[in-house]
Chains A and B, each alone.
Chain A
Amino acid sequence: DAGVIQSPRHEVTEMGQEVTLRCKPISGHNSLFWYRQTMMRGLELLIYFNNNVPIDDSGMPEDRFSAKMPNASFSTLKIQPSEPRDSAVYFCASSEGYSVYNEQFFGPGTRLTVL
Chain B
Amino acid sequence: GDSVTQMEGPVTLSEEAFLTINCTYTATGYPSLFWYVQYPGEGLQLLLKATKADDKGSNKGFEATYRKETTSFHLEKGSVQVSDSAVYFCALSDPRKTSYDKVIFGPGTSLSVIP
Give complex CA distance A83, B53 in Å: 45
B25 within 8 A of A: no
Total chain A interface residues with beta-carbon distance under 8 A? 25
The secondary structure that dominates the B interface is: mixed
Asked whether A101 and B51 contact (CB < 8 A) given A42-B108, A93-B43, A109-B43, the answer is yes
The residue of chain A having its C-beta at the shortest distance from the C-beta of B105 within the complex is A43
B95 x A99 contact (CB < 8 A): yes
A101 x B43 contact (CB < 8 A): no
Q: 10 nearest interchain CB pairs?
A: A106-B43, A102-B101, A102-B93, A106-B44, A42-B107, A43-B105, A103-B46, A108-B43, A107-B43, A91-B43
Chain B residues at the A interface, C-beta cutoff of 8 Å = 32, 34, 41-46, 49, 51, 89, 93, 95-96, 100-103, 105-108
